[in-house]
Amino acid sequence: MDEAVKLSLDEAWTLSVDILEGHGYSAAHAAAIARSVVAAQGDECHSHGLYRLIDCVRTLRHGGVDPRAVPEVIDQAPGVVRVDARGGCSLLAFETGREHLVEKARSYGVAVLAVNNAFHFSALWPEVESLAERGLVALAMTPSHAYVAPAGGRSPLMGTNPIAFSWPRPDGMPFTFDFATSVVARGEVELHRRAGKRIPEGWALDAEGRPTADPTAALAGALLPFGGHKGSVLSMMIELLAGPLIGDRLGHQTQPANGSGEGTPQHGEFLLALDPRSFLGPDAEARLQQAEALFEGVVVQGARLPSQRRHAARERSQAEGVAIPAELYDELVELRDGDGAQP
């Protein structure tokens, strides 16, 4: 980063809340979104960091999110809680349902939180990690818009459909992963296009369903799923669990908000929580310790655990704050102070 602006986490928080509230998000939504983007920025996940505030404002302007929606909690079944986001951002809906999910998982051993009708832009790892911090094992998935072709296919059908998992560790940060089921994020292709670079073989198809190394053709075509047929069916599972099972849309039944009023960006999210203490009773601590043998087995052979870099960045950010490109900072200040923002 040639020109960077350093912000303390407090400054990043205030900037985020000011932008969001200034454009009409309720205090509750602004806080939930700020928690997510500041956490991502602090973990140096730039693609889900402060940069996403621009998306939150643009989607609002295009009518793709209700910035003041009050999520509604529905006690769907003993092991299932639904939160209807009512067209608002998914993050407040998740926060509204989280303690219900925790309580159900502790009571029944396993429980599901279904978030419905939500505008969703965030990473899933802050959510599953927040459940692991409460001692639960958590799995989350959500569809996105149709950008990915099924393996063996020619045209976009599934979302980039991320899946995230978190496991509580007795001494330290949870074991957490969060990955898109496409080979790469769409943003990676966009970065190649901006840089005038070709994309590697195996990433994407053009609009005619032919393999392409041209990022512009790829953006007009389809990404490919990771891991061939295996990743493709995993992505289909995510569509089904976070779509029809919870009474919500499939990826290809959504579109980004586009200002025409025709965008239907809202969709669902599926979260599963498992309580080790319900599964194991007094053996829970010993079994969580046993799991450490797996993590040690990875590290001892020189391989990395997922989130290792992210957790290291978190420690740095808590001490030193975050750095964002000066250009992004200027854009965010303009968003805070410029036309459309309300004092």
- For position 77 contacting its own copies by CB under 8 A, the verdict is yes
| Window contacting its own copies (CB under 8 A); options: 48-56, 153-161, 196-204, 323-331 | 153-161
Note whether 36 and 123 are within 8 A (CB): yes
The secondary structure of residue 38, as a DSSP letter, is: H
**Residue 127 is a catalytic residue:** no
List 63, 109, 135, 263, residue binding its own copies (CB under 8 A): 109
Note whether 33 and 91 are within 8 A (CB): yes
Cα-flanking dihedrals φ and ψ of residue 161, to 5°?
A: 35, 80
| Window contacting its own copies (CB under 8 A); options: 16-24, 32-40, 65-73, 220-228 | 220-228
- For position 220 contacting its own copies by CB under 8 A, the verdict is no
CA trace torsion 164, 29, 329, 188 (10° rounding): 30
Note whether 9 and 327 are within 8 A (CB): no
Note whether 208 and 155 are within 8 A (CB): no
List 25, 51, 147, 167, residue binding its own copies (CB under 8 A): 167
- For position 151 contacting its own copies by CB under 8 A, the verdict is yes
List 148, 236, 322, 335, residue binding its own copies (CB under 8 A): 236
List 112, 148, 271, 335, residue binding its own copies (CB under 8 A): 112
| Window contacting its own copies (CB under 8 A); options: 17-25, 86-94, 287-295, 312-320 | 287-295
C-alpha closest to that of 65 among 250, 242, 263, 332: 263
- For position 312 contacting its own copies by CB under 8 A, the verdict is no
The SS3 call for residue 241 is helix
- For position 172 contacting its own copies by CB under 8 A, the verdict is no
CB of 172 to its own copies, least distance (A): 15
List 287, 309, 320, 326, residue binding its own copies (CB under 8 A): 287
- For position 202 contacting its own copies by CB under 8 A, the verdict is no
Q: How many CB atoms lie within 10 A of CB 103?
A: 12
Output 8 or 290, the one with its CB closest to its own copies.
Answer: 290
List 1, 27, 245, 312, residue binding its own copies (CB under 8 A): 245
**Residue 252 is a catalytic residue:** no
Note whether 146 and 243 are within 8 A (CB): no
List 211, 247, 338, 340, residue binding its own copies (CB under 8 A): 247
List 207, 213, 233, 313, residue binding its own copies (CB under 8 A): 233
Output 302 or 343, the one with its CB closest to its own copies.
Answer: 302
Distances (CA, A) of 135 to 15, 187, 307: 32, 33, 18
Note whether 241 and 234 are within 8 A (CB): no
Note whether 128 and 158 are within 8 A (CB): no
By the 10 Å C-beta count (0-12 exposed, 13-18 middle, 19+ buried), 275 is classed as buried
- One DSSP character per residue, 211-231 reads B---HHHHHHSEE-BTTHHHH
CB of 339 to its own copies, least distance (A): 41
**Residue 16 is a catalytic residue:** no
Q: Which of residues 39-68 bind its own copies (CB under 8 A)?
A: none
Active site residues: 47-48, 188
